[in-house]
Amino acid sequence: MPTITLPPHLKASLAAGHPWVYRDHVPPSVRLDSGTWVRAQCGSWTGYGLWDTRSPIAIRLFSSYAQPDALWVRERVELAWKGRAALRETATTAYRLLFGEGDGLPGITVDLYNDYAVLATYADSVDVLVPLVVEALRAVVPGLRGVVRRRRADAEDEVETGKIEALWGTLPPRDLVVEEHGLRLIANLYEGQKTGLFLDHRENRRTVEQWSSGRRVLNCFSYTGAFSLYAARGGALSTTSVDIAAAAAEDAAENFRLNGLAGDQHTFLARDCFDYLSRVIQRGEQFDLVILDPPSFARSKKNIHAATRAYVKLNALALRCVARDGMLATASCTSQLSPEAFRAMLGEAAASANLRLALIHEAGHALDHPVPAHFLEGRYLKFALGRVLEVA
């Protein structure tokens, strides 16, 4: 097994459990194929990981003791399964079973949708572990009917983006319906975003439900309307769901029908959200709760300035659509935007709208998305709920 010597200043971070070694920290002379197991040496610290030829992350680290084998992978899957036991008691059949680094398997996620596991990889190097993960899933998850793989939108090979293939068992039905906290949701595992649903917002949707009673709710970037659905169950007077994709708007309407919540007070629009918010302002229309859950605006650090400006513009528009004593629920999944920068952006957006935003709740991703304490890069999702106030 090749040994790669790392700079001494990385030792504290690696010993604390950081699972990545960036390319600029490895000798430029290293020439290995993706998926090669390597021994990383940093002073007295040793780690075992997979080499990647294309990613900015040259080594994803898995263990400090030995090269992982089938038994090691199965143990990680078993721990993850046991760790989600409480979630399975909440009328929820769709959740993240494996969250990469947080469950000891960097670069790999597995989401469960009823009896189907959807596996996604973030790097070429971890492909060597896929058969072992499939084997472990078959052994650990009772009643499993199929394991499928879907290439993510941020996968390195964009030609393969969105494709789904059966790794074991049968393919899931196209009309798959799952449960989340007792609500029924369409999970499009073929054409939908992420692996089918945005599972990372589960607890944030519950938060919105708790603050929706008697409110007129506007949900921008609504996708299949999950935030709107929770708001409706929470007693919202009305919901307006806006997403640029017509198919998403159709699925959102169907989700309301599935849950017996359809009615004229709930509308679903296929519109550009920036344009829609501008038109709401022009009409003088207002809502009691505005929800923003936009896609990531930056794929790398070099795009973060432009992304921040876009977030400021979006949140300023939304704030101007909030009625007196109303609320804003807003999120960012841009990993390069830190929680501190996210809060600063919200303050700038409020000032731009000549308003004040008093944050009453901040959160991140759902409870099935664990993150190592020393792995700041893993905390990609920011969510905030705040009261919108006039300038005194």
Residue 217 lies in a domain: yes
Task: Give the end of a domain, one of 11, 41, 63.
Answer: 63
Task: Identify any residues that bridge with 47 across adjacent strands, giving them in sequence order.
Answer: 40
* Predicted local confidence at residue 48, as pLDDT: 98
How many Å apart are CA 227 and CA 218, to the nearest integer? 10
Per-residue pLDDT, averaged over 239-246, amounts to 96
pLDDT value, residue 156: 47
**Is residue 162 over pLDDT 70?**
no
Residue range 68-97: average pLDDT?
96
- pLDDT score recorded for residue 117: 98
- CATH number, domain at 126? 3.30.750.80
Contact (CB, 8 A) for 122 and 100? yes
In a domain, 342, yes or no: yes
In a domain, 214, yes or no: yes
Q: Residue 325: which residues within 8 A CB-CB, separation 6 or more?
A: 288, 387, 388
Do 352 and 308 touch, CB atoms closer than 8 A?
no
Is residue 352 domain-shared with residue 209, that is, in the same domain? yes
% of the chain exceeding 90 in pLDDT: 89
| Domain-terminating residue out of 31, 48, 63 | 63
Mean pLDDT within 219-225? 96
Q: Taking each helix axis from N to C terminus, what angle separates 130-140 and 70-83, rounded to the nearest 10 degrees?
A: 50
Q: What is the four-CA torsion angle of 194, 85, 171, 108, rounded to 10 degrees?
A: 50
- Number of helices followed by number of strands (H, E) in the chain: 9, 19
Residues 268 and 310 in one domain: yes
The predicted structure's pLDDT at residue 302: 74
Q: What is the mean pLDDT of the chain?
A: 94
**DSSP for 167-204, written as a single string:** EEEPPPPTT-EEEETTEEEE--TTTSSTTSS-GGGHHH
Do 169 and 295 lie in one domain? The reply is no
Residue 260 to residue 72: CA distance in whole angstroms:
45
152: left (phi over 0), alpha (psi -120 to 50) or beta: beta
Q: What is the number of domains present in the chain?
A: 3
Residue (of 43, 56, 55, 58) closest to 5 by Cα position = 43
Q: 39, 63, 87 — which closes off a domain?
A: 63
Same-domain status, 160 and 249: no
- Residues marked active site are found at 333
Does 183 fall in a domain? no
Query: Among the listed ranges 83-87, 122-126, 305-309, which one has the minimum average pLDDT value?
Result: 305-309
> Does any domain span residue 186?
no
Residue 158's pLDDT band (cuts 50, 70, 90): very low
- Please indicate, yes or no, whether residues 24 and 125 belong to a single structural domain of this protein: no
What are the tokens at 375? 């792995």
Residue 378 in tokens? 């893993």
**Domain coverage including residue 43:** 3-63
Digit-coded pLDDT (tens) for 165-180:
999 999 999 999 999 9
- The answer, yes or no, to whether residue 157 has pLDDT greater than 50, is no
Per-residue pLDDT, 152: 57
Among 119, 117, 185, residue whose Cα is nearest residue 145: 117
Mean pLDDT of 69-75: 98
Let me know whether 361 and 240 are in one domain. Answer: yes
**Does residue 232 sit in the same domain as residue 380?**
yes
Residues comprising the chain, all counted: 392
pLDDT at 303: 80
Is 243 found in the same domain as 206?
yes
CATH number at residue 317: 3.40.50.150
Nearest to 71, CA basis, from 124, 119, 139, 144: 139
Separation between Cα atoms, residue 187 and residue 196, nearest integer Å: 5
pTM reported for the whole predicted model: 0.92
Q: Which pair of tokens denotes residue 345?
A: 């952006």
Q: What is the per-residue pLDDT across 177-217, written as a single tens digit (0 to 9) for each?
A: 999 999 999 998 988 777 789 999 999 999 999 999 999 99
The band of 392, judged by pLDDT with boundaries at 50, 70 and 90, is low
Same domain, residue pair 226 and 263: yes
Cα radius of gyration rounded to whole Å, the chain: 22
At residue 160 the predicted structure's pLDDT band, cuts being 50, 70 and 90, is very low
Mean pLDDT of 77-85: 97
- pLDDT score of 122: 92
Same domain, 205 and 345: yes
Co-location of 212 and 348 in the same domain:
yes
Answer positive or negative: Cα dihedral of 255, 259, 263, 265. Answer: negative
- For 279-334, what is each residue's pLDDT tens digit? 999 999 999 999 999 998 877 777 888 889 999 999 999 999 999 999 999 999 99
Residues 113 and 141 in one domain: yes
